[in-house]
Structure 1
């Protein structure tokens, strides 16, 4: 379904699991988990069906960021972190959600970090999964070289320093297999993803180049779980460590997953969902 979050702006939203469960003579309210997908330019499909495993303890809400996927197309002037971060609040207001939990994966984690800075009292909990706070090019290049040699490093450098349709296609086809340490559990998942390369290239060529999200993290007012794979080349674990250190110490939790790449639930779903369940239910 498409939900209007402000005049003329509709986001595609999908909901899994009930918000209220019968519990004796009462209806027990479950927390709401808003899942923000990676990219930019991708859609929410990567969360399915895996995150359905959490629907017994939380109502899971998936959506496509403004301009992405099945959400309404929007002009490039709106393709920025401030707008996408504010959309979390707009969507929550439209759905009547108070104190949701928010999970940002990869680029969705960029959005979640900016959301913390702009709306620090809005969430009840935040999960930052396989994400970074800056471009961190030298770390990316070193990781791709370690995992894929000089050829992988060259493809990564060409895309991240001079993003274009051709450098993107070469990069994605050449190094996508290095993002994770095991074959996909669902080999058709990528084919189901709607990709808008124009959003990806706009962001990587623009805001991503000078992105620095650490300062805003000090404003956090709720528990924040930082999850990272130790073999993630595009959002290396050193980035996660710096994110966790920038958060107020009383709110910050860091979990590293050995032998895991980009998106811990892809490479070690048992461990990743166990961590998520503990955090959600704490």
Structure 2
């Protein structure tokens, strides 16, 4: 585990693979950490420099007050991390909250990005804000257990919730969520109250792949289509039997998607 001081905080990160290779930065969903993309890091780390990190206020990164956990600040953290590690222009991979960050970076910091692959995310306001606020209140006062089932419904697709072949994934995510303390409510509050970036999408000039899960209860496929419709040159990939946590629920297909995308880039390192 490595730690780095950037943008007024301390971030935990993992930096693997050849240092002179094209860098792939992986940004997790709310509640998750660097482990979210471990399957993809293992598959790509022989040819690409893979950097995974924990958001400010989550995982092993430094805690902070609620007002410093907004999406703009998290995006500035990611940019500062990339600059501090001297990664050059990267492919940014983000899920949900990581996708919020990726959209902002693609629109605002094209100097840092070659491309972006964004899964289970939205550029719009939070349509489930009332439900999120209720969850945040309970989480802050009573911890995760009273809302655990609800969070699992947000996160997991129907297949993962019911198919015995994915019982290990469900167990892993359940255990991770049970480890999350009431302070996570501060980060979750910003999901409900984030500002939309729909009006910034038209200015994105880097290739963007938007990935939708057919069983995503949080940001269903129309949210991904909305991003694609407003982003020049963006492409949509739909994954069947996949909920909100693509990299864990459908790790093989996510890895194959990243392999294909990276191979299509001029900066990709040939195998």
TM-score bracket relative to the smaller structure: 0.7 to 0.9
> Which residue of 33, 36, 41 corresponds with 2:27?
36
The TM-score normalised by the length of structure 1 is 0.78
CA apart distance, 1:247: 0.6
CA apart distance, 1:254: 0.9
CA apart distance, 1:162: 6.2
Give the distance between the partners of 1:196 and 1:43, measured in 2 at CA: 14
| SS of corresponding position for 2:193 | helix
Look up the match of 2:65: 75
CA apart distance, 1:167: 9.3
Look up the match of 1:90: 80
CA apart distance, 1:35: 0.6
- Unaligned 5+ segments in structure 1 are 20-28, 141-155
CA apart distance, 1:206: 4.9
Asked whether the 8 Å contact 2:40–2:254 carries over to 1, the reply is no
Look up the match of 1:172: 148
The TM-score normalised by the length of structure 2 is 0.81
1:92-146: CA deviations, max 9, x gaps? 1111111011111111111111222321332011111111223453xx6xxxxxx
CA apart distance, 1:169: 4.3
Look up the match of 1:198: 183
| SS of corresponding position for 2:217 | coil
Give the distance between the partners of 1:56 and 1:236, measured in 2 at CA: 33
Look up the match of 1:244: 228
Look up the match of 1:147: none
Cα pair distance change 1:185/1:225, threshold 3 Å = farther
CA-based RMSD: 2.6
Cα pair distance change 1:246/1:236, threshold 3 Å = same
Asked whether the 8 Å contact 1:13–1:61 carries over to 2, the reply is yes
Say whether 1:269 aligns with 2:269: no
Cα pair distance change 1:87/1:117, threshold 3 Å = same
Cα pair distance change 1:243/1:206, threshold 3 Å = same
Look up the match of 1:14: 14
Look up the match of 1:221: 205
Asked whether the 8 Å contact 2:13–2:34 carries over to 1, the reply is no
Give the distance between the partners of 1:42 and 1:195, measured in 2 at CA: 9
Look up the match of 2:235: 253
Give the distance between the partners of 2:182 and 2:41, measured in 1 at CA: 25
Give the distance between the partners of 2:238 and 2:255, measured in 1 at CA: 13
CA apart distance, 1:57: 3.0
CA apart distance, 1:198: 2.8
> Which residue of 126, 136, 147 corresponds with 1:163?
136
1:170-225: CA deviations, max 9, x gaps? 443245157222325443354356535434x3354456335312111222121111
- Runs of 4+ in structure 1 off by over 6 angstroms are none
